[in-house]
A and B are shown apart, each in its own frame.
Chain A
Amino acid sequence: MTNPVDPYLLPGLLGLLGVALVLIAAHRWDVGEWPQPVVDPDATARRRTWIKVSLFALVLVATFVWAGDVVTASSGGGTGAGGGAALSPGVGAAAGEQIFWGAGKCATCHSVGTRGGKIRGPNLGISPVGDPIGLRAAALAAQRAATLGRPMTAAEYLVESIADPSASLSQGYKDEMPKPYLPPISLTPDQITSVILYLQSLGGTPDPAAIHLPPEITQAAQSRVTVDTWKPYLVGDSARGHEIFFDARGPSACARCHRVGGRGAGAGSDLGAIGATHTPRSIVELLVGPTRRHDSLLPGGFVARINVKDFHDLLAFLETLRPYVAGDTARGRALFFDETGRAACAKCHRLGNRGGDAGPEITAVVAIRTSTFLLEAILKPSKHIASGYQTVQIRTNDNRTLQGVVVRETPDSVWLGTSDGGHVTVPLRAIVQRRAVDASLMPDTLAKMLSAKDLGDLMAFLETLR
């Protein structure tokens, strides 16, 4: 991937050079190295002054613009925080993860292990102060139950901590967490359930049946449904949108980066199935950015360049892109379960009662993820790592370095699931260093090892699991 800062480097350096030249010019003039004007001195001096001052102001402003570009490139690209991440529909831990790190704004206060850097709220992952929240919730629920004088389950504790954050506070933290179902966050009941499932998945097992939201959350959602329903205010022309998409010299020039149906360049993502995987609103959000920073990934000023009519036509065209994923499901099944084959998914992923446990159980993934996401997860496994399946690197006292997923942890040992589908048990006393790694255990070589037909078949098989 091209470094996003590069395009701004040259103008930036030119800007700085400009500032330096103006300062040098001012200095040299000052020490009398350049001749003073002799003809019509007043008018010439004024004119020159205005030119120099205007140039100087222009250079300063240009440098500021360059700084803005650098910040956009530095803070927006490459982390999935920008417009590239697909929005998962439905309820589930994966959707909850996206909400936690996005619209729910949980991550502006909480970190999860080494992910995120915020300390205003308790760390909800493995941290120096304790286990991840999915494990810790049971103990916290027990403490809370003792205070209340009535039993409380771990799920009830998590529900209470979101529905009524002031009810019990973690020691050392202020009572300042907002109720996320109220404005301005305004999460829906499904979104809140998803976040709780995500929290449960951090060291524990998501349990949707245990989650019962209090009525005020549902009521809050119902009371604002009339004002929070988004719809485009123009009906677009999809045929014209098609022209706009492929018009290389047009204001949007989408096909210069994106492909649809085999047409277009390949630097951006393939949008051939976007109509199937996204709602109209989420397409708009992709265009303007789910974090509302549209041009952090799209070229600078994309939305500013395109007029309202074109925007809606383009939107109408993208909504029509709902291709059927063709493929041989039987062959896809074979590829999945053949542990000596090219894909060998079952080495690490369980389906029914078959398969390993170093990766997520596959029906749970398929149920909540879009086709685009699944394809991306196969080809770029490190882009989105499922909760609870973060790779851990362990260094032992005999200088061995092990890498794997923590499948089980006892008071004495850690069981690591490794990339070959096997297990390694490491005694706790032998561990010298342990740290999370942000790269998936799943190999990123499948794009090379699988043919297009293999991928199509595998995807077709996975689609049958929905």
Chain B
Amino acid sequence: MSEVNTFFGLNPRNVVWFVAQLHLLFGAFVLGVPIFAVIVEFIGWRTADARYDRLAREFTKLLAAAFATTAALGGLLSFTLFGLYPAFSAHFVRIFAPSMYFYAGLFFVETALLYLYYNSWDRLQDRKWVHLTLGVLLNVAGTAIVFIANGWASYMMTPTGVDASGAFTGTTAGAIANPLWMPLNLHRIIGNVSFGGFVVGAYAAVRFLAARTPDERAHYDWMGYVGNFVGLAALIPLPFAGYYLGRELYTASPVMGNNMMGGDFSWGFILQALLVGLLFIVANYYLWAGMSRIPGAERYQKYVKYLNVILVACVAVWLTPRNLPVTPEEQLAIGSQVHPLLGYLGLMAAKNAVINFIILATFASLLLYRRANKTDLIPISRQGRASRVTLIAAGSLALLLLGWYVAVLLRLDLQTLNLTPEKGIYVRILVLVLGLTMLAAVVTMALALRGRGHLAQAIYFVVTAVACVGVLGVYGFVVMTAANPLLRQVAVVQWLILMTALLLLTAIDVVLFRGARSLGAIRWGEVALSTQYALIALCVDIVLTMGLMGYVRSGLREDWHIYGVLRDTSQWAFTPSYSTMARMVGGITLTFLAAVAFLFWLASLGGGHRGATDASRPSAEGVP
């Protein structure tokens, strides 16, 4: 059997790359949009706001065509793999055949559920929970499908059940449940939600720009806001999911891990920092610019410049490479291959610190937006018991999370990390930071319960910034040189502190502004056009990011079809340069966007622009 064939004279690897990435983007679309639709439908049901229901329906309508395109691309991907890489495909089928039948079966189930979900919309208006259950089942089927495909993709990176000679001796289930499977599942699911949100945002932006009436503008402005909100909300935990994926990849194969972060692919992460940094900056810009349509928002505009400085500075650090090839003269001038100052900013400790700060700053933007038109707060003492219960529950959960990790650290066996007992001091410092944060959480909760919510929020914001960025950011460098294996624990502590901040501050914010007086209705539709271009930029950016990370994930296998097991011995078994990658991913992105635009147009043929023209002008209190 020939190992590799060509596709009408074209490089087979590029053909598979193009088709696989396009299939993956459509797969993300048909997975992300139903998740988005069900969330939005649920909000509409609970808030009795019909706009959400219409929005969910409008996007579900797109799914039929998108679903068919995804399936067609999946078929094409299978054919190209079988036709161009027959030896690899035969090897792969031997391991995964049972799961492939299951995969196809789930596709039928998902298709049936999709049509049931869409076509029963009117019929089940009075039994919304049944309809939502169908939506949830649709998502369960979609998630199961993507989980199987993730098993195949992750097996190629971290194969299990393979003996020393390279022969497969395991089971299909074991091969799917390889070390990278669950991290990849988590990362893709969260990423797909974000992706779905930003695609919706871009769709709304295009419709807004073409809108001719204030009602249409109001509807699509609101839709864009919802899309951005969902996209941004999912974007916040995404770096952590990415860190988890990278960490597990490193654990499974230090060779691959080092190649990823310190070898050939380290520059891929600089490009990723550029793209994800831009996602955060542009998403924040959209929020800030959108405050112009909220009466009373001018009170908070003065804080925007500080947030902007933080974001740009943090993205700059995130973008800093560790290794920049230098000439002998440059090396002579700086005394080493690494810049004496900037070299530190290129290390993981610095990057972890700034990513936490970016997330905290973005969260601050969301809080500012949320409170923009609210005033005359109702003291917590005059609110019902529910407010106090909410605060206590959130605070307890935060304490529980932090306390749990204190216990984990105290039980940590340093020998498993190849550290001597005297290195225990570095663990104790982490415990101390967590302990002080817990103390701050208690103080924050007490202040909030006594009606000093603003002060409580300010204190916990400062504590989080100081602990995550200031203390642990610098401490990361200390650990890196003195007790390197503990660096992961430092990252987990940073993540936990940040998560408790998001939890606690949100709970306080909800209670703080419950029943507050509004300074006026949100003027939906009265927003700068540049905000709509920001929404389009977010969509293009996230598609490019997915393409880039697809290249990194596949490229990490270098010249292996299945890492360490089945080698690609053809002359195309090289990792393309970033230049080639950018052209390829750029082409894929444009193709995908054009195809999605076509699908939107197809969907509009049936119903015209009814969704827009029927939309009532959104109310002032419509901030989800």
A103–chain B nearest beta-carbon distance, Å: 10
Query: A427 at interface (Cβ–Cβ under 8 A)?
Result: no
Out of B336, B337, B480, name the residue touching A119 (CB < 8 Å).
Answer: B480
When the two chains form their complex, are residues A30 and B336 in contact, meaning their CB atoms are under 8 A apart? no
Query: B3 at interface (Cβ–Cβ under 8 A)?
Result: yes
A271–chain B nearest beta-carbon distance, Å: 18
> Which residues of B (210-244) have their CB < 8 Å from a CB of A?
210, 212
When the two chains form their complex, are residues B576 and A105 in contact, meaning their CB atoms are under 8 A apart? no
Which of B98-106, B128-136, B141-149, B482-490 has 4 or more CB atoms under 8 Å from chain A? B482-490
Query: B259 at interface (Cβ–Cβ under 8 A)?
Result: yes
Interface digits, A280-304 against B, CB 8 Å rule (1 contact, 0 not)? 0000100011011111100011011
B214–chain A nearest beta-carbon distance, Å: 14
- List residues of chain B with CB within 8 A of the CB of A81: 325
Query: B375 at interface (Cβ–Cβ under 8 A)?
Result: no
B425–chain A nearest beta-carbon distance, Å: 13
B58–chain A nearest beta-carbon distance, Å: 18
Which of A21-29, A90-98, A147-155 has 4 or more CB atoms under 8 Å from chain B? A21-29
Answer whether A114 and B325 are a contact pair too, CB < 8 Å, given A72-B579, A184-B564, A296-B577: no
- List residues of chain B with CB within 8 A of the CB of A76: 577
Query: A117 at interface (Cβ–Cβ under 8 A)?
Result: yes
Query: B264 at interface (Cβ–Cβ under 8 A)?
Result: yes
Query: A2 at interface (Cβ–Cβ under 8 A)?
Result: no
Query: A224 at interface (Cβ–Cβ under 8 A)?
Result: yes
When the two chains form their complex, are residues A233 and B2 in contact, meaning their CB atoms are under 8 A apart? yes
- List residues of chain B with CB within 8 A of the CB of A264: none
- Most-contacted residue by chain B among A46, A114, A183, A233 (CB, 10 A): A183
When the two chains form their complex, are residues A176 and B569 in contact, meaning their CB atoms are under 8 A apart? no
- Most-contacted residue by chain A among B259, B540, B564 (CB, 10 A): B540
Interface digits, B5-19 against A, CB 8 Å rule (1 contact, 0 not)? 010011100100000
When the two chains form their complex, are residues A184 and B558 in contact, meaning their CB atoms are under 8 A apart? yes
Rounded to whole angstroms, the CA-CA distance of A49 and B600 in the bound complex is: 15
Query: A397 at interface (Cβ–Cβ under 8 A)?
Result: no
B260–chain A nearest beta-carbon distance, Å: 9
Query: B332 at interface (Cβ–Cβ under 8 A)?
Result: yes
- Most-contacted residue by chain A among B256, B482, B569 (CB, 10 A): B569
When the two chains form their complex, are residues A293 and B259 in contact, meaning their CB atoms are under 8 A apart? no
B483–chain A nearest beta-carbon distance, Å: 7
When the two chains form their complex, are residues B540 and A60 in contact, meaning their CB atoms are under 8 A apart? yes
Answer whether A292 and B270 are a contact pair too, CB < 8 Å, given A23-B533, A64-B586, A117-B336: no
Answer whether A57 and B338 are a contact pair too, CB < 8 Å, given A64-B544, A68-B579, A75-B267: no
A221–chain B nearest beta-carbon distance, Å: 13
Query: B520 at interface (Cβ–Cβ under 8 A)?
Result: no
B188–chain A nearest beta-carbon distance, Å: 22
A314–chain B nearest beta-carbon distance, Å: 11
Query: B170 at interface (Cβ–Cβ under 8 A)?
Result: no
When the two chains form their complex, are residues B590 and A293 in contact, meaning their CB atoms are under 8 A apart? no
Out of A223, A233, A304, name the residue touching B4 (CB < 8 Å).
Answer: A233
- List residues of chain A with CB within 8 A of the CB of B576: 293-295, 304
- List residues of chain B with CB within 8 A of the CB of A432: none
Query: B75 at interface (Cβ–Cβ under 8 A)?
Result: no
Answer whether A53 and B267 are a contact pair too, CB < 8 Å, given A64-B582, A173-B418, A288-B574: no
Rounded to whole angstroms, the CA-CA distance of A178 and B258 in the bound complex is: 11
A172–chain B nearest beta-carbon distance, Å: 6
- Residue count of chain B within 8 Å CB distance of chain A: 92
> Which residues of B (551-596) have their CB < 8 Å from a CB of A?
558-560, 563-565, 567, 569-583, 585-586, 589-590, 593
When the two chains form their complex, are residues B206 and A49 in contact, meaning their CB atoms are under 8 A apart? yes
When the two chains form their complex, are residues A292 and B332 in contact, meaning their CB atoms are under 8 A apart? no
- Most-contacted residue by chain B among A71, A174, A178, A230 (CB, 10 A): A71
Out of B331, B482, B528, B581, name the residue touching A30 (CB < 8 Å).
Answer: B528
Query: A62 at interface (Cβ–Cβ under 8 A)?
Result: yes
When the two chains form their complex, are residues A68 and B582 in contact, meaning their CB atoms are under 8 A apart? yes
Query: A65 at interface (Cβ–Cβ under 8 A)?
Result: yes
Answer whether A116 and B337 are a contact pair too, CB < 8 Å, given A26-B529, A183-B565, A185-B255: yes
Out of B164, B271, B567, B580, name the residue touching A227 (CB < 8 Å).
Answer: B567
When the two chains form their complex, are residues B577 and A72 in contact, meaning their CB atoms are under 8 A apart? yes
Interface digits, A108-126 against B, CB 8 Å rule (1 contact, 0 not)? 1100001111111000000
Out of B256, B275, B327, B567, name the residue touching A78 (CB < 8 Å).
Answer: B327
Measured CB to CB, the nearest residue on chain B to A433 is B335
Rounded to whole angstroms, the CA-CA distance of A60 and B206 in the bound complex is: 16
When the two chains form their complex, are residues A435 and B335 in contact, meaning their CB atoms are under 8 A apart? yes
When the two chains form their complex, are residues B560 and A184 in contact, meaning their CB atoms are under 8 A apart? yes
- Most-contacted residue by chain A among B259, B580, B581 (CB, 10 A): B580
> Which residues of B (1-57) have their CB < 8 Å from a CB of A?
2-4, 6, 9-11, 14
Answer whether A30 and B328 are a contact pair too, CB < 8 Å, given A64-B582, A184-B255, A295-B579: no
- List residues of chain B with CB within 8 A of the CB of A27: 528-530
When the two chains form their complex, are residues B580 and A301 in contact, meaning their CB atoms are under 8 A apart? yes
Out of A29, A114, A183, name the residue touching B335 (CB < 8 Å).
Answer: A114
Query: B166 at interface (Cβ–Cβ under 8 A)?
Result: yes
Measured CB to CB, the nearest residue on chain B to A290 is B574
Query: B86 at interface (Cβ–Cβ under 8 A)?
Result: no
Answer whether A233 and B337 are a contact pair too, CB < 8 Å, given A71-B270, A75-B578, A292-B559: no
Query: B351 at interface (Cβ–Cβ under 8 A)?
Result: no
- List residues of chain B with CB within 8 A of the CB of A60: 537, 540-541, 544
Rounded to whole angstroms, the CA-CA distance of A224 and B573 in the bound complex is: 18
Measured CB to CB, the nearest residue on chain A to B260 is A108
When the two chains form their complex, are residues A118 and B579 in contact, meaning their CB atoms are under 8 A apart? no
Rounded to whole angstroms, the CA-CA distance of A307 and B8 in the bound complex is: 10
When the two chains form their complex, are residues B582 and A67 in contact, meaning their CB atoms are under 8 A apart? yes
When the two chains form their complex, are residues B589 and A178 in contact, meaning their CB atoms are under 8 A apart? no
Rounded to whole angstroms, the CA-CA distance of A381 and B581 in the bound complex is: 34
Rounded to whole angstroms, the CA-CA distance of A119 and B530 in the bound complex is: 45
B529–chain A nearest beta-carbon distance, Å: 4
Query: B324 at interface (Cβ–Cβ under 8 A)?
Result: yes
Query: A171 at interface (Cβ–Cβ under 8 A)?
Result: yes
Query: A269 at interface (Cβ–Cβ under 8 A)?
Result: no
- List residues of chain B with CB within 8 A of the CB of A33: none
Query: B262 at interface (Cβ–Cβ under 8 A)?
Result: yes
> Which residues of A (98-142) have their CB < 8 Å from a CB of B?
105, 108-109, 114-120
B550–chain A nearest beta-carbon distance, Å: 14
Query: B119 at interface (Cβ–Cβ under 8 A)?
Result: no
Query: B420 at interface (Cβ–Cβ under 8 A)?
Result: yes
- List residues of chain B with CB within 8 A of the CB of A309: 9
Interface digits, A42-84 against B, CB 8 Å rule (1 contact, 0 not)? 1001100110110011101110111111011111111101000
Answer whether A304 and B537 are a contact pair too, CB < 8 Å, given A68-B579, A117-B343, A173-B418: no
When the two chains form their complex, are residues B574 and A172 in contact, meaning their CB atoms are under 8 A apart? no
Interface digits, B252-288 against A, CB 8 Å rule (1 contact, 0 not)? 0111101100111001001100110000000000000
> Which residues of A (252-296) have their CB < 8 Å from a CB of B?
284, 288-289, 291-296
> Which residues of B (159-184) have their CB < 8 Å from a CB of A?
164-166
Out of A57, A178, A228, A300, name the residue touching B255 (CB < 8 Å).
Answer: A178
When the two chains form their complex, are residues A174 and B589 in contact, meaning their CB atoms are under 8 A apart? no
- Most-contacted residue by chain A among B212, B336, B578 (CB, 10 A): B578
Rounded to whole angstroms, the CA-CA distance of A220 and B335 in the bound complex is: 41
Rounded to whole angstroms, the CA-CA distance of A407 and B338 in the bound complex is: 27
Rounded to whole angstroms, the CA-CA distance of A47 and B114 in the bound complex is: 33
- List residues of chain A with CB within 8 A of the CB of B264: 291-293
Task: Kindly list 16 other residue pairs between chains A and B, CB separation below 8 angstroms, not including A53-B209, A115-B337.
Answer: A26-B532, A27-B530, A57-B593, A69-B579, A75-B578, A108-B263, A114-B331, A172-B419, A173-B484, A184-B560, A227-B567, A288-B572, A288-B574, A292-B558, A292-B574, A296-B577
7 closest A-B pairs by CB: A68-B582, A183-B564, A108-B258, A72-B579, A292-B574, A117-B338, A438-B328
Residue pairs across A and B with Cβ atoms less than 8 A apart, 23 shown, are A22-B533, A26-B528, A41-B212, A50-B206, A56-B537, A57-B540, A57-B590, A64-B544, A68-B585, A69-B582, A71-B579, A75-B267, A75-B325, A105-B263, A108-B262, A114-B337, A118-B258, A172-B482, A227-B567, A228-B567, A293-B575, A438-B328, A438-B332
